[in-house]
Amino acid sequence: MDKLTTYRQIAQQLVAQYAQYTAKREGIETVAIADEASDNYLVMKVGWHKGRHEHWMVFHLRIQDEKIRVEWDGTDYGIGQELLDAGAPKEDIVLAFYDPQTRALTDFAIA
Sheet holding 40-49, edge to edge: 28-35, 40-49, 52-64, 67-73, 93-94
pTM over 0.85: yes
N- to C-terminal Cα separation, the chain? 24
More confidently predicted of 75 and 1? 75
Q: pLDDT digit string (tens) for 50-104?
A: 999 999 999 999 999 999 999 999 999 999 999 999 999 999 999 999 999 999 9
Contact predicate 85/72, CB 8 Å: no
* Domains recognised in the chain with CATH numbers: 3-103 (3.30.310.110)
pLDDT of residue 25: 83
Dump pLDDT digits (tens) for 32-53: 999 999 999 999 999 999 999 9
